[in-house]
Amino acid sequence: MSYLSLFSRLAATAALTASVLISPAVTAQELAPNSYITLGQAIPADSLNKTEVLEFFAYSCPHCAVMEPLVEKWSQSFEEKVVLKRVPVAFNAGMADLQRTYFVFEALDRLDLHPKLFAAIHQEKRALFDKKAIRKWAADQGISEKDFDNAFDSFGTQTKANRANDLIRLYQIQGTPSLAIGGKYVTSPAFTNGYEETIQVADALLKQAQ
């Protein structure tokens, strides 16, 4: 089943799922074999001596908007040696400005705007898909246009975008949202048939990966 057809079906229950509390933990042995994939070769972590959980997302993706608060809540239970790393996805040139915007938030220490941008696009229905529109919205949030442009066009942002694209390729990400666990496993609502279920599977895989 394609990501598009599955996510279209999931969208009808998105609001309900987002509000559901995460169910009791399951073990990796209890997971359905088609609820995740195991990579042929483990991917080394960028974070030294840490187990990484990578959240592949796109601001334009409504399902990512639903998953984001669930992932954030889950990450609050991580042990000290586990780190959440968000990886903005650009499958085409039209997604590149939003991809770079996440790294602008990082560079300017304004990650408080991460959930707000999701809300602006999906709840307020604002067309924030290109640099000009995003820069104007960011100015309303207290980021000067000069600071936005400097961060957006910086070598650091380009380097991070390049690394994000490398990770998309290495983890064979074909749709969002997706979670990569410990450099070994990938799961997503396309595999698990639900947002909460994806968190359950990812949590079990994290325990196995540590």
The range of the structural domain enclosing residue 171 comes to 3-209
- Mean pLDDT calculated for residue range 49-56: 96
- Mean pLDDT calculated for residue range 109-114: 98
The CB density around residue 1, as the number of other CB atoms within 10 Å, is 9
Would you say residue 18 has pLDDT above 80?
no
CA dist 90 and 164 (Å) reads 9
Q: Cis omega before residue 177 (within 30°)?
A: yes
Instruction: Give the residue with greater pLDDT, 192 vs 29.
Output: 192
What pLDDT shows up at residue 33?
84
Would you say residue 85 has pLDDT above 90?
yes
What pLDDT shows up at residue 21?
39
Would you say residue 16 has pLDDT above 60?
no
What pLDDT shows up at residue 25?
60
If you average pLDDT over every residue of the chain, what do you get? 90
- Mean pLDDT calculated for residue range 42-59: 95
Instruction: Give the residue with greater pLDDT, 27 vs 49.
Output: 49
What is the pTM assigned to this prediction? 0.87
CA dist 176 and 59 (Å) reads 10
Chain segment 154-202, per-residue pLDDT in tens = 999 999 999 999 999 999 999 999 999 999 999 999 999 999 999 999 9
Would you say residue 68 has pLDDT above 50?
yes
CATH of residue 168: 3.40.30.10
Paired residues of 57 in beta bridges:
88
- Mean pLDDT calculated for residue range 63-89: 97
CA dist 27 and 207 (Å) reads 8
Question: Exposed, middle or buried by CB within 10 Å (0-12, 13-18, 19+), for 93?
Answer: exposed
Chain segment 191-206, per-residue pLDDT in tens = 999 999 999 999 999 9
What pLDDT shows up at residue 210?
82
Per the structure, how many domains does the chain have?
1
pLDDT band at 15 (very low <50, low <70, confident <90, very high): very low
Would you say residue 147 has pLDDT above 70?
yes
